[in-house]
Structure 1
Amino acid sequence: MEFNQYKEYLSPALAKATDLIITSGEGCYLTDINGERYLDFVQGIAVNALGHSHNKVVDAICGQAKNLINASFNLVNFEPTLKLAKRLSEVTPGDLNSIFFSNGGAEATDGAIKLAKAYTKRPAIISFKGSFHGRTIGATTVTASNSKYRKYYEPMMGSTYFVPYPSKDLCPKGFDEQQRTEYCLEELKSLFSYVVAPEMVAAIIMEPIQGEGGYVVPTKEFVQGIRSICSEHGILLIFDEIQAGYGRTGKMFACENFDVVPDIMTLGKAIAGGLPMSAVVSTNEIMEEWHPGMHGTTFGGNPVAAAAANAVLDVFEEQNILENVNTMGSYLKEKLFELKEKYSCISDVRGLGLMLAIEFSHEDGTPGGDIWAKVKAECLRNKMLTLNCGVHGNGMRFATPLNVKKEEIDQGIMILEAALQTL
């Protein structure tokens, strides 16, 4: 079997990073139809929290599927889904105890925007340049990590405004971290003065750590500054924790790194260990304004995904996954800094926990998207899957399982360095 034999039956809209046809996966590894084994440092784009086919997740899925696959959560209740809602409310920060389950990240984004508008009765949404929130029309409207995601879709959802995120690409050249923080906060205040009155803004939606935009970590001062501005003007703060949340940064939720609690939080990707599941999480007070019928779902909260999600939480508790994220994240970051010292094409190492990235640049400082392409090809030739990020495609992100082992990181670093040596 070859992918090209079937390519004509698939829409080209879904970009394919490789032509591999995979038959099985276990932990950090995937096996293709030819029996070739690949080290997977992408993990479904940070979806498989515990790696491929974790035995406890598989057992939970199989056990639930034998009893009931779905009957729609808006018709009846499911024991595993009810249990999951309670368990999530126990680990989410602050008073974020009310949960609406859906299927994917973009769907959760749309839900969060609708909830904010329903509660505040205000029309406007503010998002950040560099952000990625999904590809539905609502999620695309608040996405600005690359213009290609928005091309041909105008006009989109109205009353949406953008301000810069404090990354090097979006701030004046030469600004240090503190200057970028101050600049971006002032740009938001300027937006209120010149473009949209704050009392017309329902919500500010942001990734506490940008994912697709380049794994950019802002300062605590910036995130707390956004929280303060929202509180001052009665604006709801939505945190998109779809990629950065669920243990990826070494905290259960990325917002905990900044000592900030949002008003609404979206979850996805890793929540169900590989099955499609997402959630909109907020306070009971805010959710009370989302009356029956104002939002809905056919498949959201299905019992098989919920059973898998409960198994993920079980393993988090039993194996102290967060401790592993911090230990292995520090180790991986140390190894990446060592590569940066040896290879001048690596211009930056950044991230928290196991949400890490390196950036490739040319000697003149211009983005090295072409360097990334060569590194990716060499890594794939040496049986490792990788993924880029950033508007210029010159970042390499690491999305290993949260239970990754030292020897697996060592193998990945060895393959990466072999690729760098060929340049």
Structure 2
Amino acid sequence: MTTNQDLQDRKDAVIARGMGNASAVYVERAENACLWDVEGNRYIDFGSGIAVNNTGHSHPRIVAAVKAQLDKFSHTCAMVTPYASFVELAEELTRRAPGNSPKKAIFVTTGAEAIENAIKVARVKTGRSGVIAFKGGFHGRTNLTMGLTGKVAPYKAGFGPFPNEIYHAPFPNAFHGISVDDSVQALKDLFACDIEPSRVAAIIFEPVQGEGGFYQVPPEFARVLRKVCDDHGIMLIADEIQTGFARTGKLFATEYLGIEPDLMTMAKGIAGGFPIAALVGKADVMDAANPGGLGGTYAGSPLGCVAALEVLKLIDEEQLCQKALAIGEIMKSRLQALQQQFPVIADIRVLGAMIAMELVDDAGQPMVELTKALVGQAKENGLILLSCGVRGNVIRFLPALTIEESILEEGMLILENCLKELQGD
């Protein structure tokens, strides 16, 4: 029998170590919120492929849609000979994107590509080059998106130099003592000391910072960003790659903020595991680029398009936004009970089914080793967890929105038992 360790040894021999894997769990099959490895072990998946499988693993309707498309064709290049699903998906996304402005879309293959194209569109629309991002933000692993990312290890270390005219401001974070006023003042300082507003093409932010630690942007700060951009002709970009497609209890987390961004990036949960990403924005902004300036060979894959159309139907018909909120309430209650037993759980953050707990010691220092140990211990007990955070001390929970309540409860019991094993009763 092939074992996980056999495959890990083979992987280490042929895959560059920079492309690591959190666990030596080699998946043979997956169904909804569970995985089975090559040794037959079952795992409850609280990571969902990093918020990709919001509709669960191998949802039968998505599988059927993709199989039907495969019987027709797998690729033609939408920039050469497009197809109906390419148009239909753009119609759906532009209709559903927050705000009343007419919208247009483009499709690419990855989230990083969507970010790159958002910056391209903002620059051509404004005729400017500067970009402001936020400390703790994550936007990808390409050179430009690494430059935008506000977290050095492991994403930026050793890979510079990065593109010029990218500036980082502190993200408002009450738990870490950074107020909205602090962040606003930092923006003013950037404009006074580093780059004048008339040279800034875009400000990019995540409605909930993902890799940074699941910190939510306060609505009042989002409104400040919208006003700053309006006052100075700057494009406001919402990175909804991890927050989109019902994850937070709304189709897009920006809907909580009461603003309309100029551009939005989408990927991850868009197509139930099939690689496709989108940039959606105000029509006059999106049309700033000349024909041929946007796109890509695999952009808008027909397999991804039909999968994404089915995901949107499932979100509506299975009421996945409401399910995300219900998951959040269940997990919040369970985590608060655990917090009473384990004071190392210093903060709990919940927005729909985008949930995190931050681990610190009595002195307020990040418990990085405990975080790593908890991820490892959970894996040994049949639960897949993900960590994140600039300080490496946050456990993030991203269960499938289709998870059965009994499986959710089983996963939370495993988490409790692992904390007991590591922290004592």
Q: Distance in 1 between matches of 2:343 and 2:64?
A: 47
Instruction: State whether residues 26 and 52 of structure 1, in contact with CA within 8 Å, keep that contact through their aligned partners in structure 2.
Output: yes
Aligned length: 416
Aligned to 2:210: 211
Q: Distance in 2 between matches of 1:132 and 1:33?
A: 32
For residue 85 of structure 1, what is the amino acid of its counterpart? Answer: A
* 1:13 counterpart = 2:18: yes
Please give the alpha-carbon distance, in whole angstroms, between the structure 2 residues aligned to 1:126 and 1:188.
Answer: 9
- Partner AA of 1:98 in structure 2: K
CA distance in 2, matches of 1:6, 1:162: 37
Aligned match for 1:32, one of 37, 45, 51? 37
Partner of 1:132: 138
The farther-off stretch of 2-11 and 279-288 is 2-11
- Alpha-carbon distance in 2 for matches of 1:256, 1:150: 31
Distance 1:6 1:216 in 2: 34
Task: Specify the SS of the correspondent of 1:349.
Answer: strand
Shift in alpha-carbon separation, 1:328–1:147, aligned structure 2, 3 A: closer
- 5 Å-filtered alignment, 1:211-360, equals 211-360=210-359
CA contact (8 A) 1:217 1:351 kept: no
CA contact 1:203–1:236 (8 Å) conserved in 2: yes
Q: CA shift at 1:120, angstroms?
A: 0.3
Matched residue SS, 1:293: coil
* Residue 53, structure 1, aligned to residue 58, structure 2: yes
CA deviations 1:129-176 (Å, max 9, x no partner) are: 00000001111110012343222222211111110001257x6xxx4x
1:73 alignment counterpart: 78
List aligned pairs for 1:169-180, cutoff 5 A: 175=177, 180=179
The counterpart of 1:88, out of the listed 44, 68, 93, is: 93
Q: Is the 8 A contact 2:134 2:168 kept in 1?
A: yes
Q: Which deviates further from its counterpart, 35-44 or 80-89?
A: 80-89
* Partner residue in 2 for 1:396: 395
Q: Give distance in 2, aligned partners of 1:251 and 1:350.
A: 16
Q: Match for 1:369: what amino acid? A: V
In structure 1, the partner of 2:197 is 198
Deviations 1:164-219 (A, max 9, x none): 001257x6xxx4xxx61111011101110111000100000110110000000122
Distance (whole Å) between structure 2 residues aligned to residue 422 and residue 66 of structure 1: 51
Structure 2 letter corresponding to 1:143: T
Give the letter for the 1:146 counterpart: V
Amino acid corresponding to residue 266 of structure 1 in structure 2: T
Q: Structure 1 residue 119: deviation in Å?
A: 0.4
Unaligned runs of 5+ in 1: none
Query: Match of 1:119?
Result: 125
How many Å separate the matches in 1 of 2:41 and 2:301?
34
Secondary structure of 2:90 counterpart: helix
Contact 1:245 1:267 in 2 (8 A): yes
Q: CA RMSD in A?
A: 1.2
Asked whether the 8 Å contact 2:206–2:217 carries over to 1, the reply is no
Q: Does 1:106 align with 2:112?
A: yes
Name 2:410's counterpart in structure 1: 411
CA contact (8 A) 2:244 2:270 kept: no
Counterparts of 2:394 and 2:11, CA distance in 1: 31
For residues 204-263 of structure 1, the C-alpha deviation after alignment (integer angstroms, 9 at most, x for no partner) is 011011000000012211111111111111110000000011111101111111111100
Q: Offset of 1:268 from its aligned partner?
A: 0.3
Matched position secondary structure for 2:203:
strand
SS at match of 1:56: helix
Q: 1:159 to 1:6 in 2, by over 3 A?
A: closer
- 8 Å Cα contact 2:250-2:321 kept in structure 1: yes
Output the CA distance in 2 between the equivalents of 1:402 and 1:99.
26
Q: Gapped runs of 5+ residues in structure 2?
A: none
| Cα distance in 2 for residues equivalent to 1:225 and 1:211 | 21
The amino acid that maps onto 1:257 is: Y
1:62 aligns with 2:67: yes
Q: TM-score normalised to the size of structure 1?
A: 0.96
Which of residues 130, 149, 157 in structure 2 aligns to 1:151?
Answer: 157
Between 74-83 and 411-420, the greater mean CA deviation after superposition: 74-83
Q: What is the CA–CA distance in structure 1 between the aligned matches of 2:182 and 2:151, rounded to whole Å?
A: 19
CA–CA separation in structure 1 for the residues paired with 2:96 and 2:174: 33
Given residue 192 of structure 1, which amino acid in structure 2 is its aligned partner?
F
Secondary structure, counterpart of 2:64 in structure 1:
helix
Task: Specify the alignment match of 1:160 in structure 2.
Answer: 166
Hey, what does 1:22 align to over in structure 2? 27
Q: Is the 8 A contact 2:132 2:204 kept in 1?
A: yes
Q: Displacement of 1:88 after TM fit?
A: 1.2
SS of 2:395 mapped into structure 1: strand
Paired-residue identity, %: 35
Q: Which amino acid aligns with 1:12?
A: R
